[in-house]
Structure 1
Amino acid sequence: MRTDTPQPIRLADYRPFPFAIETTRLVFELHPSRTRVKAELSVRRTSDTREALVLNGERLKLLSVAIDGQALSANQYAIDPEQLTIHEVPDQFVLTTEVEIDPSSNKALMGLYMSGGRFCTQCEAEGFRTITYFPDRPDVLSRYSVRIEADRKFTHLLSNGNLVGSGALDDDRFFAEWTDPFPKPCYLFALVAGHLDVLADKFITMSGREVALRVFVDPGQASRAAYALDSLKRAMKWDEDTFGREYDLDLFMIVAVRDFNFGAMENKGLNIFNSSLLLADPETATDLDYERIEAVVAHEYFHNWTGNRITCRDWFQLCLKEGFTVFRDQSFSADMRGEAVQRIKEVRALRARQFAEDAGPLAHPVRPSSYLKIDNFYTATIYEKGSEIIRMLKTILGAEAFRKGCDLYFQRHDGEATTVEAFIACFAEASGRDLTDFFGWYEQAGTPAVTLQTAYDEAARALTLTLSQTTAPTPGQPTKRALPIPVAIGLLSTSGEVLRDTEVVLLDEATATVRWENVASEPVVSALRGFSAPVNLTTDARPADRYVLFASDPDLFNRWEAGQTLARDLILGRAGGAPDEVGEERYAEALGQALVDDAAEPAFKAQLLALPSEPDLALMSEPADPAALHAARDHLRARIAVHLGDLLRRLHGDMQSDNEFSASAQAAGRRALRNACAEALSADPHNDNLMRIVGHYEAARNMTDMIGGLYPLVAIGGVARDKALANFHYAWRTEPLVLDKWFSVQGRDPNEDVLERVMALTTHPDFEPTNPNRLRALVSTFANFNPARFHDPSGAGYRFLTDQILAVDAFNPMTAARMIEPLGGWRRYRPELGQLMREQLERIVAHPELSKNVLELATKALG
């Protein structure tokens, strides 16, 4: 057990760094195990106090330190495992340090490390301190120049900004010089050195400048970066058209890296990507991969303005860049792929990750007030809920005022490290509205519960809407205040005609009443259209109203939502011992009618076929019984497969295409529906359906269809599963990104022997626990997306996850900490399960040499 007690960092304690670092000159002499880093910092005192200069630094071997060229003696500075302190410094000076680091032993993948024989960096949030001594905080902005020296086998030496020089040092070594004209915090520093192929293109900005575009990948992989490069060009044009933001350098680079803790990183001018989010071709990538590549390429590019040109004053403001940038990338994806289906996918993800976070001991505000390790706050709350807050702001203000607020923000704070308060102030000023209460969304954790009740006065032809809101206590916030919640509402007749178009009702108190006149007949209320706020909504709607919405609501999100609500109630009813056989038949019939609606796109129909997930259902039942939920959901799946078997088989055949692969949204939608039909049919695996799914898998000409056939076969189990898995592995054994899919599909296997199989896979020759992608594919998939088997009554699933967390924590605390979440919801489950989960959390906390990352989250999870 840890003997020290780490002290939290608190927002209330923020004070500016007392020095400015006006320029930073870095010289790297790269060597896999003995890299030398020389840093020259132009330092100027900005405080009236005579403070010592304190610089962050971890795992560094200090070779020398000098001020204005004069070496310091040992009594002039102090060094400990986390910082370098220079006791007395002048008001303006040049600090020169030289350190040695070992990139090859850096398995935490933070700072400078080796991946696939190349050097690369990840500095957000606090990785730069493992490269050189520096004030590693986002409010210290500096202009960087970088010289990289390396062996010639590292054919590309890359850093931020513009290349200003390169050449030979001798027959074996060469150098490259880079200068970034824009001041940036050190977390945006990047370096890559390696033998790489490059895919090149250009983009002409709206002012007519030519920007060189370069994507660097493993040798032989350049063709797989073509879609990412196309996505980048579309994102650059979209940002100009939608937000008026033009790229500012002459060069934009992206590098693909296999070993990476994050999805990608927005380093100024040199984005570094997890290769899983950059490389794609039809044979190795699914449509979901294409969608994610498009979104993440856009996200990291959009950071150029929302994160780089304007950055965070401190890490408590993380949502300032991430929430806004997620909102921007979601808006881009909606324009690229269709608003309704994109919104459904966003809300599915929000409920699965962020609502679960808000409902457990790890709940925290979008802007936290304290932390031990900022790495632990790269969460769905910061990202996805942060985006929802921006979406609500736009809904409340309207598109025109919202754009004015954005323009003011970019104009006023360009080149600054700023705060959420400053961001919101721009929208208040641009719109002329008081947004004081709206700021509560950033300070208050938890998911509000909104109730809507209706009363129709037939004689007066008037409808009264009564809305109320409550938010349950969360850790550290027992009392909640009312928040401004925009609720978009429309009215339909009982036959499905539109009675009243969408209007936004702002619920900004605990309870509010609205009266609408001239309502021709008792309506069906379509509320929270487009998911206009991140809340849980309960209405007094009758099941008959849900069926009207399911069949006729012009708001496609709410049409989908009505179907989800009907299915959820049926599953929860059966799991709770109150099955509704008639209701299940009626639901299957209504689903069939929706699937034959010629006006609906295939991508939307595929969403209709996807029942609420078991993790989502667990959030809606207390205490949750994963086994009962799994059985009830499977029962409804089987009912649908039998009742709609002929229709599903017909759609499965109709959606088959012999055309060349297209990554377009329309083509992807047809594949999504075909694969959804295959999965639905697997719930009734009689011989005809089984042979159809086997044929689906064996005839697949792209990875989307191949995975679309493989997962149903794995779910069916038996000989068909084992044969398909063996075939898949043999075919793709040399493709790391495809092998991740092989591990992932087995982590989701719903059969009773899955834990034994997953444990065996951790000893498979292709399992790489030091690679975050591979670890997430198997272990995190099993723990997060296979609840019935993870929550085995024996507690074996919990023990397995804990073993993995403790093993990984020894070399990669950030990744280990992210694996805590499945244990964190122990209070929501049956008491006997919750106790077993709690015991594993206690085991984690008691473990010797535990990292701060894991300690913080495990302790919070215990409560």
Structure 2
Amino acid sequence: MLEIESPASPQTIDLKDYKIPDYYIETVDLHFELGEKQTTVRSRLAISRYSEAKAPPLVLNGEALELLSIQLDGQVLDKKDYQQNPESLTLFQVPERFTLEIETRIYPQDNTTLSGLYTSGGNFCTQCEAEGFRRITYFLDRPDVMARYTTTIVADKKKYPVLLSNGNLVAQGEEDNGHHFAKWQDPFPKPSYLFALVAGDLARIEDEFVTRSGRKVALHMYVQSHNRDKREHAMASLKRAMAWDEQVYGREYDLDIYMIVAVDDFNMGAMENKGLNIFNSKYVLAKPETATDTDYENIEGVIAHEYFHNWSGNRVTCRDWFQLSLKEGFTVFRDQQFSADQGSPAVKRIQDVNHLRTYQFREDAGPMAHPVRPESYVEVNNFYTMTVYEKGAEIVRMLYHLLGPEGFRQGTDLYFDRHDGQAVTTDDFVKALEDANALDLSQFRRWYSQAGTPELRISRAYDAEKSTYTLKIKQTCPPTPGQPHKAPLHIPLAIGLLDSQGEDLPLRLAGETTAVTGTRVLELRQEEEAFVFHDIPCEPAPSLLRSFSAPVKLYLDLRDEERYFLLAHDKDRFNRWEAGQQLAVKIILGLVKDYQQGKPLVLDSAFIETVGRILESDEPDQAFVAHILALPSEHYLAEFMAVIDPDAIHETRCFIRRSLAKALQELFAATYQALTKTGAYRRDPKEMGRRKLRNTCLGYLMELDEPDIRSQCLQQFNHADNMTDVIAALSRLVDIEGPERKIALQTFYDKWQEDSLVIDKWFTLQALSRRQDTLARVQELTHHPAFKLTNPNKVRALIGAFSQGNPARFHDPSGKGYGFLGDYVLKLDPLNPQVAARLVSAFNPWQRYDQNRQELMKAQLERIAKTPQISKDVYEIVSKNLA
């Protein structure tokens, strides 16, 4: 393995080495003097030793801090009493109980990492998860140290009229020299990662929520003044989430005030700090002219996610960072439930599974594969992954399938009641569900400790004489780094069997006296099992893994006619969509082989006819129709190839879209016209579905690249009254060679150049363009005045979109895309290691490509590895790739 240079040979942290802390902090009093060039932080910590039998040194975490003074029980400590290094402060002798006062100086204006306290748009804000609090003051910065916080903030009143922190406001007033102060007190114990502070010149929008017990909660949302008109949807989403959590989980909000602040510079989507959520502005700000329907959906989901954390993450938190999915997986499941209840459950499930299979399955198959509860890490920020979040949510969903809605609710009630105010583990979560339902979930726990995507291989047999239908199921899981062998998992497999009319058959297993009609959940526990269903009058069509009841790959040798039948008749709407996806994958991969062998490409007429019937159907959920018409993504198709050929996938997929557009041009055009709106803009599920299907039709028509269609697309771009339709048109125009492209791009920029979030869309669409010159355009845009390397949204919108969302152009055989990404990883790493690490992960699947591309990607990884003093964030990903 290549020797990788690193600033200090980063230490690997192992779950097996977890120990309870030697000391606890009971209360924290913080005092901030915010300044234009520097900030002074005074902390007063009430500390007690966990055990009376030993007196180990007190080791406090701290990074990028200038230590000014330390006092222990009022006595100033001499330098011989403590030791400093770049990551800690050690006090050699301390009593059993004591008060420690520390004064530090920090420089938020220079903090480009966006971790700890930093400035954004002239405002102060914080991001302390996972380990940012140690950049504010010396502390036991770990999630199992929970304390009650009181925070006083002092700042120039004119420049920073708004001063916010966690909890309830208990005092405020004026000071000398034009300064003022605010004092906040949080009555609930919390870990340091949930601390928050905001100071700035922000506009406040107020509302109110009345809880089911009759308490009035003040809702405050803070945005920059010019964005006041973009907060209505976020506030409405918050109130819906609060009501939903009371109804579905019985959880009521617990403080007098709930605050949300939108900031432009943020490494994440949002942060659930107790009572003071800090959001990336893209997940708060929306109005029809600037935000797409997808933006609205994402805002609703993220607002709900962070609110739901108040219980699943704040009141009950994780013991250590290996348990991150305890809060994140559970809360993702909760926000998915909420979003499904607000619109189409089938469409929401399709979106979530599509995202999981496209990205998390790839993560499971690569060098960064890890269990939902990892065994070790070098940099914890690298484990804010699809596996921890989305696969973690699927684990919770499986528990929901196994226990049923009532049993699951009983289990979560016990979990919240039993562990309120505690820092716990995934085992504690499962134990609560076990105890509430008197079940043994010992085998199920393996889902948290085993990495990789399980595979189910299923064979079937129908015996007409005995009227039985047998499913034989074998489960396996491929080896992953550090886990060559896997034990069988406890897997819920939701199934249905359809008769010749598409109706669900009653399902009865041997030994049962009554049959279950509709969906039935089989519980797989062994490596190989057989399930025999009785009283099956005819050979059925199997509808397996309904609603994607487990995050597995399912292999079942269905005939094409069976897939067409399921697409037309399955009662499970997810499986209707899935049947279409399976057909499309089979057809595309077959044509990929033809393309690689130089054979002419011919699209199956039955597939064309099926697409036509779908377009002509009377299905009322038009968003669902649009999803059925969407071909599998290039990333998802790549997962079916032993050696990924991005050129063949891209060209074949484009050929199929063109073939469908040519064969069904009149139908696409008629559907597009029929879906033209007849009234004022509305944002409800029906109208969103109409826009989605109409723009899907426009996308197919634009494959023909005809002057009249280009003109029609440009007309939609020019005259649409909402950003959804504008972006749909522009996303097609960026691919063409005609003059309409330049006209549209310039028009869009001229109109929206003052709106940073809208310009992010402009960057992204150009980064995703199919054009051969896309890389050159992306390189050019990195020098555009609107691009800012220190802003994560800009980096994700342009460099991230190109390297992770445009496989055909990023994986150009020349390797220029790889060199471009390598350059920017190295430029970003000293500024913001978290964002740099996210970018370098685009190289993770490098060993699955052809020899030429492998060598070119490996060369970039080695180049990064040889760079002196790369961050722990980038070091971990690069080293695992090169291992």
TM-score bracket, shorter-length normalisation? over 0.9
AA matched with 1:396: L
1:337, CA displacement in angstroms?
1.3
Question: Within the alignment, does 1:433 sit opposite 2:453 as a pair?
Answer: no
1:109-134: CA deviation from partner (whole Å, max 9, x where unpaired): 00000000000000000000000010
Relative to the length of structure 2, the TM-score reads: 0.97
- 5 Å matches for 1:696-735? 696-735=716-755
The one of 562, 573, 593 equivalent to 1:556 is 573
Aligned twin of 1:849: 869
Query: Mean alpha-carbon deviation: is it higher for 464-473 or for 136-145?
Result: 464-473
Question: Within the alignment, does 1:521 sit opposite 2:538 as a pair?
Answer: yes
Aligned twin of 1:692: 712
Question: Within the alignment, does 1:773 sit opposite 2:793 as a pair?
Answer: yes
Q: Name the SS for the 1:715 alignment partner.
A: coil
Report if aligned partners of 1:32, 1:114 keep a CA contact under 8 Å in 2: no
Aligned twin of 1:187: 193
Q: Name the SS for the 1:409 alignment partner.
A: helix
Aligned twin of 1:76: 81
Aligned twin of 2:123: 118
C-alpha distance in 2 between matches for 1:574 and 1:278: 43
Q: Name the SS for the 1:121 alignment partner.
A: strand
The one of 840, 852, 855 equivalent to 1:820 is 840
C-alpha distance in 2 between matches for 1:808 and 1:654: 48
Question: Within the alignment, does 1:452 sit opposite 2:436 as a pair?
Answer: no
Aligned twin of 2:248: 242
Report if aligned partners of 1:59, 1:130 keep a CA contact under 8 Å in 2: yes
AA matched with 1:98: E
Question: Within the alignment, does 1:568 sit opposite 2:568 as a pair?
Answer: no
C-alpha distance in 1 between matches for 2:380 and 2:274: 21
1:436-493: CA deviation from partner (whole Å, max 9, x where unpaired): 1100000000001111211111122211111111111111111111111111111123
The one of 415, 420, 444 equivalent to 2:426 is 420
Q: Name the SS for the 2:278 alignment partner.
A: strand
Report if aligned partners of 2:319, 2:424 keep a CA contact under 8 Å in 1: yes
AA matched with 1:793: P
AA matched with 2:556: T
AA matched with 1:102: Y
- 5 Å matches for 1:802-813? 802-813=822-833
- 5 Å matches for 1:741-820? 741-820=761-840
Question: Within the alignment, does 1:862 sit opposite 2:882 as a pair?
Answer: yes
C-alpha distance in 2 between matches for 1:116 and 1:40: 30
1:79-133: CA deviation from partner (whole Å, max 9, x where unpaired): 1111111111111111000000000000000000000000000000000000001
Aligned twin of 2:214: 208
- 5 Å matches for 1:134-283? 134-152=139-157, 153-283=159-289
Aligned twin of 1:356: 362
1:825-863: CA deviation from partner (whole Å, max 9, x where unpaired): 012112221221111111111111100000001111223
1:644, CA displacement in angstroms?
1.5
Aligned twin of 1:375: 381
C-alpha distance in 2 between matches for 1:138 and 1:681: 53
AA matched with 1:80: N
- 5 Å matches for 1:525-604? 525-577=542-594, 584-604=604-624
1:797, CA displacement in angstroms?
0.7
Question: Within the alignment, does 1:7 sit opposite 2:11 as a pair?
Answer: yes
Aligned twin of 2:496: 490
Q: Quote the RMSD (CA, aligned, Å).
A: 1.2
Report if aligned partners of 2:671, 2:694 keep a CA contact under 8 Å in 1: yes
Report if aligned partners of 1:645, 1:681 keep a CA contact under 8 Å in 2: yes
C-alpha distance in 2 between matches for 1:135 and 1:221: 38
Report if aligned partners of 1:138, 1:313 keep a CA contact under 8 Å in 2: yes
C-alpha distance in 2 between matches for 1:76 and 1:203: 52
1:623, CA displacement in angstroms?
0.4
C-alpha distance in 2 between matches for 1:184 and 1:628: 52
Question: Within the alignment, does 1:829 sit opposite 2:849 as a pair?
Answer: yes
AA matched with 2:840: I
Report if aligned partners of 1:584, 1:639 keep a CA contact under 8 Å in 2: no
Report if aligned partners of 1:486, 1:533 keep a CA contact under 8 Å in 2: yes
Aligned twin of 2:35: 31
Aligned twin of 2:511: none
AA matched with 2:132: G
Aligned twin of 1:90: 95
C-alpha distance in 1 between matches for 2:378 and 2:619: 52
Aligned twin of 1:41: 45
C-alpha distance in 2 between matches for 1:690 and 1:458: 57
1:171-210: CA deviation from partner (whole Å, max 9, x where unpaired): 5110000000000000000000000001100000011000
Q: Name the SS for the 2:366 alignment partner.
A: coil
Aligned twin of 1:101: 106
Question: Within the alignment, does 1:607 sit opposite 2:633 as a pair?
Answer: no
C-alpha distance in 2 between matches for 1:261 and 1:18: 32
Report if aligned partners of 1:609, 1:680 keep a CA contact under 8 Å in 2: no
- 5 Å matches for 1:260-339? 260-339=266-345
1:581, CA displacement in angstroms?
6.5
Aligned length: 863
- 5 Å matches for 1:456-475? 456-475=462-481
C-alpha distance in 2 between matches for 1:765 and 1:5: 38
The one of 632, 635, 646 equivalent to 1:626 is 646
C-alpha distance in 1 between matches for 2:662 and 2:501: 29
Question: Within the alignment, does 1:660 sit opposite 2:680 as a pair?
Answer: yes
1:580, CA displacement in angstroms?
9.6
Unaligned stretches of 5+ residues in structure 2: 507-517
1:660, CA displacement in angstroms?
2.4
1:310-354: CA deviation from partner (whole Å, max 9, x where unpaired): 001100000000000000000000000111000000011111211
1:713, CA displacement in angstroms?
0.8
Identity %: 51
AA matched with 2:45: L
Distance 1:580 1:603, change over 3 A: farther
Unaligned stretches of 5+ residues in structure 1: none
1:738-783: CA deviation from partner (whole Å, max 9, x where unpaired): 0000000011001111111111111111111110000000111111
Aligned twin of 2:514: none
Question: Within the alignment, does 1:66 sit opposite 2:67 as a pair?
Answer: no
Q: Name the SS for the 1:682 alignment partner.
A: helix
C-alpha distance in 1 between matches for 2:8 and 2:94: 32
Query: Mean alpha-carbon deviation: is it higher for 822-831 or for 230-239?
Result: 822-831
The one of 393, 400, 408 equivalent to 1:394 is 400
AA matched with 2:170: V
Q: Name the SS for the 1:125 alignment partner.
A: coil
Report if aligned partners of 2:7, 2:870 keep a CA contact under 8 Å in 1: no
1:569-626: CA deviation from partner (whole Å, max 9, x where unpaired): 1111111127797763211210111122213411101111211000111111110100
C-alpha distance in 1 between matches for 2:50 and 2:531: 55
1:654, CA displacement in angstroms?
1.7
1:541-595: CA deviation from partner (whole Å, max 9, x where unpaired): 1011000011111111111111111111111111112779776321121011112
Report if aligned partners of 1:495, 1:548 keep a CA contact under 8 Å in 2: no
